[in-house]
Amino acid sequence: MKSPEKVYLIDTNVILRYLLGDHPEFSPKAEAFMEDISEGRKKAEILDVVTAECIYVLEKYYQVSKHEIVEKLSAILNFSGIVNFSRAETLTALLKYRDSNVDIVDCILAAKSSRSKVVVSFDKDLEELKAVSETL
């Protein structure tokens, strides 16, 4: 019986080193790994929590603009080797984040909401995002 194909869960620091190219040892390794993902030679998943952490670090620490963050992370999510089941939702969340003044976590919640997955919150921002939500 053949072993299942390996899928890598990419940590925030790998994505940051890849995007920023700021570390003499880690950035080239991250670039080579991400090139394998881009070309589909390796498979990987990027969890929403990693996407959120990337945004926080890029925005708060490196002062990268929302538009640039969304452009770069969207490009990575569209690499051939990315196997996220929720890729469309994550891309939608990134667009909501780019086009609003709302936190990425609320954007992810809004993108994942539906009539069968209702967000419950005290946050009025979810209405702006057109989330399926209920306020307590």
85 is a domain residue: yes
Residues 81, 87: Cα–Cα separation, whole Å: 12
- Interacting residues of 101 by C-beta distance below 8 A, sequence separation 6+: none
DSSP string, 111-129: HH--SSS-EEES-THHHHT
Exposure letters 5-34 (e unless 16+ CB within 10 A, then b)? eeebebebebbbbbbbeeeeebbeebbebb
pLDDT tens figures, 39-75: 999 999 999 999 999 999 999 999 999 999 999 999 9
Residues 56, 14: Cα–Cα separation, whole Å: 15
User: Which has the closest alpha carbon to 110: 122, 99, 98, 97?
Assistant: 97
**How many domains does the chain contain in total?**
1
111 is a domain residue: no
31 is a domain residue: yes
18 is a domain residue: yes
Asked whether the predicted pLDDT for residue 1 surpasses 90, the reply is no
pLDDT tens figures, 80-132: 999 999 999 999 999 999 999 999 999 999 999 998 999 888 888 888 888 88
Asked whether the predicted pLDDT for residue 4 surpasses 70, the reply is no
69 is a domain residue: yes
133 is a domain residue: no
106 is a domain residue: no
The H-or-E segment that residue 106 falls in is: helix 104-112
Q: Please give the residue range of the domain that contains residue 70.
A: 7-98
* Length of the chain in terms of residues written: 136
108 is a domain residue: no
